[in-house]
Structure 1
Amino acid sequence: MDPSDLMFTLYPYAKSLHIMAVLSWMAGLFYLPRLFVYHVEQAEKVQDTVPIFLQMEDKLLRVIMRPAMYVSWAAGIFIVLTPGVVDWSSVWPWTKGVSVIAMTWFHHWLVFRFRDFSTGGNKLSGRQFRLMNEVPTVLMVVIVVSVIFKF
């Protein structure tokens, strides 16, 4: 069997896996900044909550977000390497690609903010985390519009 035939056969499975992984990753990208807002605003008010926030944030990052990001990337790369799926002369794969890289940067930015919380070095306010919570929404809109309309 030709490798491109195998890739085409596996394409619907890769696409399904990609969509599920992206949904999980996005859920974490939406929720973690919100947890950081609560961490900043409530942890000082309610005694002994810092370890609870740190545990929730750590589990969300390690157990859900990181694996989902890896699977999103792996399945996405498989999809774009499948012959005939992507028209590289169009604009949409490039806007999606740049947005996915930006989303990955945001993921890593969140990891560094978690490390700041872990060491007691957080300098950002709840308002700043609320504003940053809009980043994955904007990137999601660009990605979905790019893929659906295929400019």
Structure 2
Amino acid sequence: MSHFTQISVQTQDFDFAYQYQKLRDSNNSDGALVTFVGLVRDMNLQQSVSGLFLEHYPAMTEKVLNDIVETARVKWHLGSVSVIHRVGQLKVSDQIVFVGVTSQHRQSAYHANEFIMDYLKTQAPFWKKETTTQGDKWIEAKISDIQKSKDWS
């Protein structure tokens, strides 16, 4: 297998072990593989959360995710990159997002993975509605996430 870029926005869950193995087998010259998996938390902003609903703008979402990955490829020497983001109704502890990056060296893989997540949280057209004990509410990007994405500039 050779290096690849995989972008997927989907309702179904993903298999972490399969995604890891796919990245691991993508090229023998890469010595680093960094993954991140985001989960639905049971608390946010001191409120109990029982679910999360994610909407997106289909034509634009994949384009934005591709642009983020390509920007990371310009900044760091990367091998394979996989970004999977779920949409629809999710419950507490469900997997929301997978980002996996391979590179010849760990520093590039770590930085690129963090960069992709920081930009995904602030640039990708996803809308999140939490179900809380106080009712449903749409949530905005956190100021700390916005600042973190600006720090990469």
TM-score (norm 2): 0.29
TM-score (norm 1): 0.29
Q: Which has the higher contact order (CA 8 A, sep 6+)?
A: 1
Name the structure where helix makes up a greater proportion of residues.
1
Larger Rg: 1
